[in-house]
Amino acid sequence: MGILLSAQHVSKKYSNHLALDDVSIDVPEGCIYGLLGPNGAGKTTLIRIINQITGPDTGKVLFENRLLDAEHVQQIGYLPEERGLYRKMEVGEQAIYLARLKGLSKKEAKKRVQEWFERFEMQGWWKKKVEELSKGMQQKVQFIVTVLHQPRLLILDEPFSGFDPINAAIIKDEILNLKKQGSTIILSTHNMGSVEELCDNIALINRSKKILDGNVKEIRRAYASRTYDVIFKGSMIAFTNSMWTGGELISQSTDAEGMNHVRIKLLGNSTPNMLLEAVMRSSEIHGLNEVLPTMNDIFIMKVQEGNGESVLGTRSNYTE
Amino acid sequence: MGKIWIIIQREFIMGVRNRTFIIMSLAAPLFFVGIILVPMFIASQPGSQKTVVVCDNSGCPDTVGYAYVFKDTMNIKFDYHMVYKPIGEVKKMYRDSDNYFVLYIPENFMGGCDTVNEHSVALSCILYSKGEPGFNLINHLQSVLTTEVQQDILGSNGISREVMELSRRKVSVTSEVKGQMSDTEIKFLAGLIFGMAVYIYILMFGVRVMKSVQEEKATRIVEVIVSSVRPFQLMIGKIIAVALVALTQFTVWIILSMLIVVPILNTIDDARLDHMKLQNANAGTAVAVTGSNGGALQDIALNENIQETMEKLMSVPWGNLIPAFVFFFIFGYLMYASIFAALGSAADTESDTAQFSVPVTIPLIISMASFAVIVNDPDGTIAKWLSMIPFTSPIVMLMRIPFGGVHITELLLSMGILMVSFFFMTWLAGRIYRVGILMYGKKVSWRELGKWLFYKG
């Protein structure tokens, strides 16, 4: 899989603060790329640079190994975090207008808008003014407008905010659908659940620097703390007695069916096999799962680390 | 260019589909035409015919008195069949008649027969009626009687009617500049109209650009748009589209005004013509012969009048004025519109725009306020400077040109300065605009705007 978009050593300074400091990211073609970071970290600035709304002070952005230029506008679709449409304009003609600005012909734009309107069952909205629509309906229109010109790169800034769970699920399906069709998607979000669910790769930006990037699975694996969940039937006391020095019991509970759940962190060079061997004699094992850290955990940990706070610090100030 | 064109189309369509635009386009001509024409129209209408029954008790048995000084007019008929009857009898007779008015000239009007001794007696008549006589009727009676009384007094002191007529002649001062008939009044008017047009245009539509930019920013649509087009394209597209909307509005106004004015003027003319025919018919055949001569004389006088007016009109250097008007109109608007666009981009809310727009409108207001100074001294120092400074020149230059004192090099210099300033200001505005439209939640000062100029693309 080739790299579709590559930002290389991008820095951007506003009069009194550094918005981006030597940030590089590589977005492979056909993946969903999560752009994570606290508010004010510099994500929007990076997105605006990719959209050519503003330019970098130093560094460069390549689209398929070519420097970004005006031609690329047609290949990028952008859904900003702060949504907006012309309130007094009719939905249909507005969608066509925005598609034409992206380079579609009037005829083609009209055809595609109709297709999408059918797909989202909103044919009746064509003549409605935006101000007559509910917020959720406006969001749908905005999403359609973003993907209408079939961009190769989609940049979605907090795409789920403002949607109810049903519509959020529809949008999620559409995103996966677009990925299946070959689109590359940059997803900027705070919603870590959706990151784990959707993203293949991520970059974490904090205080204008990139502090982490890579494949989501690999990152979670890398931050795995060798913790396992064991499910067993039998005496909890016998189980704990059979534990040896290679493992540490973190938590334990018993569910309604009498199954015991314990979480064990392996210490030293011990392996899951050694753990099994130790407890098998005393209990009937029903399951063993490795516990990987959630992206949320990694996010908070990395951000706090970056802010010079202890990992154990309860809350970080990540709404600067 | 393709994208600017798409933007122009949208902005234009939204502009002319706007309810305010439609109302303004339709209502404004009706309003202005109404203000001018309705009174004219009403005045020209025959109205209800009023009959004034004259009752003159002022004449002593041997003199005629003032009764017969009145002549019928379009709306007023004078009835003399009871002229020397006692007033009590006349009043009784017409007590209940609508549209009949009894004019009573009392015995002691002019002191009765003793014209010399009893001048202290007030010169006053009374108009008796059932309904209101109205302003025009009273006015007419007063003016006819006043003239007659004046003539009588002067006549009784040995001054003949001819001398009196002569004494009423008016003196006029016509001016001739470089051998050409000149009329300051027309120049004054031309300067005012053209200057005013540019002033209104810039202010009205400049503010419209500002509001439109501000609205785009407030609804956040702007971020979507500038991910497709350069901010500068959006700004220029909008400015051009608003200009086209304005032109459309003017065209609609002109056409509508024509459609309304022409029929009304025709009605007025018809009414006048009817009246003239009526007068001729009344005058009888004997007068008809001289009447036709009089008509010819009138025609000649009219022709001379037209010729004179044309000559006066031609004393305005139209050859300079019209092209200059087009130029200053367009570039003045473009320059101000880009400034207004930049200001709109800096404002988060509509109320923020006021803070910025006031200083920008000051040069415009100064231009209009200096009109009095400029017409008094169209080639003076103040006029010359104001017609060079690009912020005031679009208005002031147009006020100066009709007076003819602007040398072509001066005009070209002023145009050049405006042109250069237009490019410079648009560039400047573009730099502020591209930062401003994406800047939220910041209280923007003039200093801050200055900083934006130096942000890198």
- Same domain, yes or no: B138 and B192: no
* Whole-number Å distance between alpha carbons of A121 and B150: 91
Interface of B with A in 413-442 (CB under 8 A): 434, 438, 440
pLDDT at B438 over 80: yes
- Of B135, B168, B201, the residue at which a domain comes to its end is B168
What pLDDT does B64 receive? 61
User: Where residue A155 falls among pLDDT bands split at 50, 70, 90?
Assistant: very high
What pLDDT does A315 receive? 40
- Same domain, yes or no: B202 and B244: yes
- The backbone torsions φ and ψ at residue B70, rounded to the nearest 5 degrees and listed phi first, read -85, 135
Packed helices B231-314 and B408-436: angle between N→C axes, nearest 10 degrees: 150
Which residue in A42, A38, A8, A3 sits closest to A209, CA to CA? A42
Which residue in A86, A27, A68, A73 sits closest to A210, CA to CA? A27
- Same domain, yes or no: B234 and B98: no
* Whole-number Å distance between alpha carbons of A116 and A109: 11
What pLDDT does B33 receive? 73
What pLDDT does B285 receive? 44
- Same domain, yes or no: B77 and B159: yes
A-B interface: how many C-beta pairs under 8 angstroms? 65
> Could you tell me which residue, B291 or B171, shows the higher pLDDT?
B171
**Residue B333 included in any domain:** yes
- The answer to whether A86 contacts B456, with C-beta atoms less than 8 Å apart, is no
* Whole-number Å distance between alpha carbons of A187 and A144: 16
What pLDDT does A314 receive? 41
For B327, the token pair is: 């130029």
The structural domain count of chain B equals 2
What pLDDT does A316 receive? 37
Length of chain A equals 320
Domain span holding position B118: 50-168
What pLDDT does B98 receive? 76
pLDDT (mean) for A235-260: 84
CATH of the domain at B95: 3.40.190.10
- Of B114, B139, B168, the residue at which a domain comes to its end is B168
For B346, counting Cβ atoms within 10 Å of its Cβ (0-12 exposed, 13-18 middle, 19+ buried), the class is buried
- Same domain, yes or no: B431 and B338: yes
**Residue B127 included in any domain:** yes
pLDDT (mean) for B120-131: 76
**Cβ–Cβ contact A52 with B under 8 A:** yes
Written as one letter, the residue type at B302 is L
The whole-angstrom distance between A70's CA and the closest CA on chain B is: 8
Mean pLDDT of chain A: 86
Interface of A with B in 288-307 (CB under 8 A): none
Between the CA atoms of B432, B437, B439 and B443, what dihedral angle is there, to the nearest 10 degrees? 70
**Residue B274 included in any domain:** no
- Same domain, yes or no: B155 and B105: yes
What pLDDT does B365 receive? 92
pLDDT (mean) for A258-280: 87
- Same domain, yes or no: B131 and B243: no
Q: How far is CA A86 from the centre of its chain?
A: 28
pLDDT at A261 over 80: yes
Mean pLDDT of chain B: 80
For B116, counting Cβ atoms within 10 Å of its Cβ (0-12 exposed, 13-18 middle, 19+ buried), the class is exposed
pLDDT at A320 over 50: no
Mind listing the pLDDT tens digit for each residue in A36-58?
988 888 898 999 999 988 888 89
Interface of B with A in 43-62 (CB under 8 A): none
**Residue B161 included in any domain:** yes
For residue A264, the surrounding DSSP H or E stretch is strand A260-266
For B305, the token pair is: 């009048």
- Same domain, yes or no: B250 and B138: no
Interface test with B, best of A89, A90, A97, A101 (most B CBs within 10 A): A101
- The answer to whether A73 contacts B14, with C-beta atoms less than 8 Å apart, is no
On whether the CB atoms of residues B337 and B239 are closer than 8 A, the answer is yes
For residue A212, the surrounding DSSP H or E stretch is strand A209-215
pLDDT at B87 over 80: yes
- B10 contacts on A by Cβ (under 8 Å): 97
For A66, the token pair is: 């070519």
> Could you tell me which residue, B42 or B90, shows the higher pLDDT?
B90
Q: What number of other Cβ atoms are within 10 A of residue A130's Cβ?
A: 21
CA dihedral over A57, A60, A61, A67, signed as positive or negative: positive
**Cβ–Cβ contact B91 with A under 8 A:** no
* Whole-number Å distance between alpha carbons of B429 and B418: 15
- Same domain, yes or no: B246 and B390: yes
Mind listing the pLDDT tens digit for each residue in B144-202?
888 888 877 888 788 887 887 788 777 877 777 666 666 777 888 888 888 998 998 89
A318: which DSSP letter?
-
> Could you tell me which residue, B225 or A136, shows the higher pLDDT?
B225
- Same domain, yes or no: B225 and B336: yes
pLDDT at A138 over 70: yes
User: Where residue B287 falls among pLDDT bands split at 50, 70, 90?
Assistant: very low
**Residue B303 included in any domain:** no
- The answer to whether B219 contacts A73, with C-beta atoms less than 8 Å apart, is no
- The answer to whether A84 contacts B7, with C-beta atoms less than 8 Å apart, is no
Mind listing the pLDDT tens digit for each residue in A95-131?
999 999 988 999 999 999 999 999 888 888 899 999 8
- The answer to whether A101 contacts B220, with C-beta atoms less than 8 Å apart, is no
Mind listing the pLDDT tens digit for each residue in B338-388?
999 999 988 887 777 777 888 889 999 999 999 888 888 888 889 999 999
User: Where residue B303 falls among pLDDT bands split at 50, 70, 90?
Assistant: low
**Cβ–Cβ contact B224 with A under 8 A:** yes
> Could you tell me which residue, B5 or B256, shows the higher pLDDT?
B5
Map residue B1 onto helix, strand or coil.
Answer: coil
For B283-300, what is the HEC assignment? Answer: HHHHHHHHHHHHHHHHHH
Side-chain-side CA neighbours of residue B377 (13 Å): 9
- The answer to whether A84 contacts B457, with C-beta atoms less than 8 Å apart, is no
Mind listing the pLDDT tens digit for each residue in A192-214?
888 888 999 999 998 889 988 89
Alpha helices in B392-445 (DSSP H): 393-400, 408-436
On whether the CB atoms of residues B389 and B416 are closer than 8 A, the answer is no
* Whole-number Å distance between alpha carbons of B244 and B48: 48
Interface test with B, best of A46, A81, A100, A129 (most B CBs within 10 A): A100
What pLDDT does B457 receive? 59
Cα separation values, A316 from A196, A208, B222, Å: 22, 17, 33
**Residue B158 included in any domain:** yes
- A14 contacts on B by Cβ (under 8 Å): 455
What pLDDT does A94 receive? 92
* Whole-number Å distance between alpha carbons of B110 and B107: 8
Mind listing the pLDDT tens digit for each residue in A30-40?
999 999 988 88
On whether the CB atoms of residues B176 and B323 are closer than 8 A, the answer is no
- Same domain, yes or no: B117 and B215: no
What pLDDT does B199 receive? 92
> Could you tell me which residue, A86 or A163, shows the higher pLDDT?
A86
Q: In this complex, which of A54, A70, A101 lies closest to B225 when CB atoms are compared?
A: A101
pLDDT (mean) for A69-96: 89
- Same domain, yes or no: B209 and B112: no
- A85 contacts on B by Cβ (under 8 Å): 219, 221, 224
pLDDT (mean) for A293-297: 86
- Of B116, B137, B168, the residue at which a domain comes to its end is B168
**Cβ–Cβ contact A78 with B under 8 A:** yes
Q: In this complex, which of A53, A83, A89 lies closest to B220 when CB atoms are compared?
A: A83
pLDDT at B292 over 50: no
- B455 contacts on A by Cβ (under 8 Å): 14-15
- A48 contacts on B by Cβ (under 8 Å): 438
Residue of chain A whose Cα is closest to the Cα of B233:
A101
pLDDT at A313 over 50: no
**Which residue has 């500002």 as its token pair?**
B210
Which residue in B425, B450, B455 sits closest to B438, CA to CA? B455
Residue of chain B whose Cα is closest to the Cα of A58:
B456
How many secondary structure helices (H) and strands (E) does chain B include? 15, 6
**Residue B234 included in any domain:** yes
On whether the CB atoms of residues B245 and B21 are closer than 8 A, the answer is yes
On whether the CB atoms of residues B321 and B399 are closer than 8 A, the answer is no
- The answer to whether B224 contacts A145, with C-beta atoms less than 8 Å apart, is yes
Interface of B with A in 14-33 (CB under 8 A): 14, 18
For B330-386, what is the HEC assignment? Answer: HHHHHHHHHHHHHHHHHCCCHHHHHHHHHHHHHHHHHHHHCHHHHHHCCCCHHHHHH
User: Where residue B300 falls among pLDDT bands split at 50, 70, 90?
Assistant: low
For A281, the token pair is: 């004699």
Mind listing the pLDDT tens digit for each residue in B265-284?
677 667 666 666 666 665 54
* Whole-number Å distance between alpha carbons of B312 and B144: 35
* Whole-number Å distance between alpha carbons of A238 and A245: 15
Mind listing the pLDDT tens digit for each residue in B382-398?
999 999 999 999 999 99
Q: What number of other Cβ atoms are within 10 A of residue A81's Cβ?
A: 18
Map residue B118 onto helix, strand or coil.
Answer: coil
What pLDDT does B166 receive? 82
- pTM of the predicted protein model: 0.73
**Which residue has 């988060």 as its token pair?**
B348
**Cβ–Cβ contact B453 with A under 8 A:** no
**Residue B275 included in any domain:** no
- The answer to whether A54 contacts B221, with C-beta atoms less than 8 Å apart, is no
pLDDT at B286 over 60: no
